[in-house]
Structure 1
Amino acid sequence: MTDYDDPELAGIAARLREPDATVRRIAVLALADFDGDEHLPLLVAALRDESPDVRAEAARALEAFETPESVAGVARLLTDDDDEVRDAAAQSLAQLKLASSAVALLPYLVNGEGFVRAAALRAVRELRAPETAAPALAALDDADPLVRREAVSVLGWLKHAEALPALTKLATGDSHADVRRAAVGALGAGTDDAVLPALLSALRDPAWQVREEAAGTLGKLRLQGAGAALIAALDDPYWQVRLRAARSLGRLRSQDALPSLIAALTHTISNLRKEAALALGEIASPLALPALREAANDPDPEVRKSARLALQQTEAAA
C-alpha cells in the first residue's frame, strides 16, 4: 500500500481497508473533496470494491476527474451487476470533455446490452472523436430505440455528412418519436437536398415534440423554401411549435409571415407574443410599426422589452 505524506490522506487510505462498507463509502466521500490528483489511485481502486455502494460512490466522485485510468475504470462499471452502480457510471461518463477519452469507450459502443451501448454513446457524444462515427453509424439500425437516439446525437455533434441519408430516413420513418426528434435536430448540420423535404415532413409529425424540433431546425438552416410551412405552423395546436415557428420566420426574414406574426402579438400566451415581436424586429418591415408600438405597452415586461427592441430595429432599417 502506498504511503502518503498527507496524514489526512493516509487516514482515508486506512479507512478504505476497513471491513465495514459504510466506513469505506464515507472514506470515498472524503476523497471527493481533495484537490490535486494524489488521491486518484485510491478512487480508481474503490471502483473494484466488493460493496456496490462504495463502487457507485467512487464512480460519482470520479465525475470531476478525467484520466485514462479513471475513464477505463468507470467504463467497466457499465456492465456491473448492480443497477445503481451502472447508473452512477453512466452519469459520470456523461461529463467527459476530452476527445482522447473516447478510446476507452469504443468497445462499449458495439458490445453488451442496450443500456451499455446507449450510455457509451451518450458519453462520447460531445467529445466529437472521429473514431466514434463508424460505430454510431452502425448503431442507427439498432433494435433498441435508446441506442438509436444516442447514435443520432453522436453523429449530429460530429456533423457527419455521410450520415445524412440515414438521418433523413429516421427523421420521418422511425417508430419512436424520441429518435425522430433527435434525427431532426441532427439535420441542422446538413446541406443535402433531402434535408428540406424531410424537415417539412417532420413539421407534420404526429408528435408535437418532433414538430417543434423541425420548426427550430428549419430556422437554423435558414431554408427559404420553408416559409409557407412555418407560417402554417403558427396555427399548430401546441404553443411550443408556434413559438419555434415564429422564431424561425424571423431568421428567414419572411415578408409573407407579417400578417400572422402581427396577429400573434395579441396572443394569450406571453412567450409567443415575445417571439413574434422579436421575429418582426428581424424582418424589420415598416408595416409592423403600428402593431409593435401597441405591443410596446404590453402588460408583460418581456414582451414590452422585445417590442421596443423590434421598434428600434425596424426604425433603424427604415
Structure 2
Amino acid sequence: MLATTPTDIHSRLDHTDPEVRRIAVMDLLDSDEDDVDQLLLGALKDDDAKVRAEAARLLEGYETPEVVGGLIRVLADDSEEVREAAAVSLSELKDAAMGDGLLAALSVAPQPFVQAALFRALRELRRPEAFVPALAALASDDTGVRCAALGVLGYLKNPDALPDIARIAGSDPDLDARRIAVGALGFATELAAVVPAMKRALVDTSWQVREEAAATLGKLRAADAIDDLIAAMADPYWQVRLKAARSLGRLKAKSALPALIAALGHEMSNLRKEAAVALGEVGEVAAIPALEKALDDSDPDVRKLARLALNQLSK
C-alpha cells in the first residue's frame, strides 16, 4: 500500500461517504502522519459503526493511557462490532502500567460485557490489584464475567483464591466456567486443597471439563488421583482418554500399564501415539511386547513414538 499525503488522508477522513472514511482509517498505518493514534482516536467518535470498529481494531498497537481510555469508552458502544473490536484490542495490552485505567474503569463498570472485557485485558498484565475484584466477580450472574475473572485469578496464582475456584469447578452451572476453573486450579501447590475438586471434575457431565481435569491432574503431579485417571481411560470421549494417558505417563503410574497398553490398540491414532509416549515414561519392561507390535502400526508417528519408547525402556 502506497503512503498517502497528509492532505489526502485528512480529506478522506472527513469525507461524507462512510466507506471512504473507513478505508482512510485503514490507510493511516501506512501514511506519513505523525499522530496516527490521535486520528484513530478521533475516528472512534465517527457516526458510522464500521469506521469506529476499524479504528478500534487498529488501536491495538498503541499502549498509552489516552488510547486505553478511548477503547474503554467504546466498550459501551451501541454496536456489537465496535465493542468486540475494542475488547480484542484491550486484550492485547502488555504494559502492566496500562492496568491503572482498566482497574479504575472496572470499579464503576455496570454492564457485564464491559466488566468481562476489562478482566480479559487485565489477565496477562498480572496486576495484584485485580485480585479482589476478580474474586468478587465469581459471584456474578453473568457467565462471561465469571469466566474472565477466573482467567485473572489463574494468572495471578494467589492461593487465597483456590477455595472459590474449586467451588466454581465443581458447581457452576456453565460448562465453560467449570472448565476454566479446573484449568485455573493448575497453579496449586497444596494439592489437598484442589485434588478432591479435580476428581469430581473427572466425572463431570461435560467431556470438556473432564478433559481439562485429566490434563491438569498431570500438570499437578497428583499421585493421589492415579486410580481416577485410570478410570478416565475408559471415558466415552477419546479426548479425555488422551489427556488421562498423558497425565499417567507424567506420573509414571505403573498401575496404569494395562489401560495404556489397551490404548495402544485404539482406532484413534492420536490416542495410540499418546499411549506409546506414556508407556515409555512409565518405564515398565512389561510394555515391550505391545510397543514392539506397535512398530507395525499404520501410522508412521505411532511407529516412531513406539521406537522412542522402546529406546527409553532399554536404558
> Aligned partners of 2:148, 2:34: CA distance in 1, in Å?
32
Does 2:186 match 1:191?
no
Deviation at 1:75, TM superposition (A): 1.4
- 3-state SS, counterpart of residue 236 of structure 1: coil
Which of 46, 53, 78 in structure 1 is aligned with 2:75? 78
> Aligned partners of 1:36, 1:131: CA distance in 2, in Å?
37
Does 2:89 match 1:92?
yes
Q: Which residue of 1 aligns with 2:45?
A: 48
Residues 21-62 of structure 1: CA deviation (Å, up to 9, x unaligned): 222111101013358964221112211222222111100111
Residues 162-207 of structure 1: CA deviation (Å, up to 9, x unaligned): 1001011111011111111111000000123221111011111111
Change (3 A) 1:36 1:155: farther
Supply the AA of the counterpart residue of 2:129: E
Q: Which residue of 1 aligns with 2:106?
A: 109
Q: Which residue of 2 aligns with 1:315?
A: 314
Supply the AA of the counterpart residue of 2:297: D
Which of 58, 62, 65 in structure 1 is aligned with 2:62? 65
Deviation at 1:256, TM superposition (A): 0.4
Supply the AA of the counterpart residue of 1:175: P
The answer to whether the Cα contact below 8 Å between 1:109 and 1:118 also exists between their aligned partners in 2 is: no
- 3-state SS, counterpart of residue 314 of structure 2: helix
Which of 108, 116, 129 in structure 1 is aligned with 2:127? 129
Change (3 A) 1:15 1:119: same
Change (3 A) 1:273 1:37: farther
Q: Which residue of 2 aligns with 1:161?
A: 159
Change (3 A) 1:70 1:34: farther
The answer to whether the Cα contact below 8 Å between 1:243 and 1:272 also exists between their aligned partners in 2 is: yes
Residues 112-161 of structure 1: CA deviation (Å, up to 9, x unaligned): 21111111111211221212111111101101111111101110011121
The answer to whether the Cα contact below 8 Å between 2:6 and 2:32 also exists between their aligned partners in 1 is: no
**Greater shift after overlay, 54-63 or 248-257?**
54-63
Q: Which residue of 2 aligns with 1:25?
A: 22
> Aligned partners of 1:289, 1:252: CA distance in 2, in Å?
19
Q: Which residue of 1 aligns with 2:299?
A: 300
Residues 231-253 of structure 1: CA deviation (Å, up to 9, x unaligned): 00000011110000000000000
The answer to whether the Cα contact below 8 Å between 1:9 and 1:39 also exists between their aligned partners in 2 is: no
Name the TM-score, length of structure 2 as normaliser.
Answer: 0.94
Deviation at 1:18, TM superposition (A): 2.5
**Which ranges in structure 2 are unaligned for 5 or more consecutive residues?**
none
Q: Which residue of 2 aligns with 1:250?
A: 249
The answer to whether the Cα contact below 8 Å between 1:13 and 1:42 also exists between their aligned partners in 2 is: no
**Greater shift after overlay, 247-256 or 18-27?**
18-27
Residues 193-235 of structure 1: CA deviation (Å, up to 9, x unaligned): 2211110111111111111000000000001101000000000
Count of equivalent residues: 311
Residues 51-86 of structure 1: CA deviation (Å, up to 9, x unaligned): 222111100111233222222111111011122111
- 3-state SS, counterpart of residue 32 of structure 1: helix
Does 2:176 match 1:178?
yes
Change (3 A) 1:267 1:15: same
Supply the AA of the counterpart residue of 2:148: E
Q: Which residue of 2 aligns with 1:3?
A: none
**Which ranges in structure 1 are unaligned for 5 or more consecutive residues?**
1-5
Spell out the pairing of 1:167-316 with structure 2 (5 A cutoff): 167-192=165-190, 193-316=192-315
Supply the AA of the counterpart residue of 2:289: P
Name the TM-score, length of structure 1 as normaliser.
Answer: 0.93
Change (3 A) 1:35 1:229: farther
> Aligned partners of 1:52, 1:139: CA distance in 2, in Å?
30
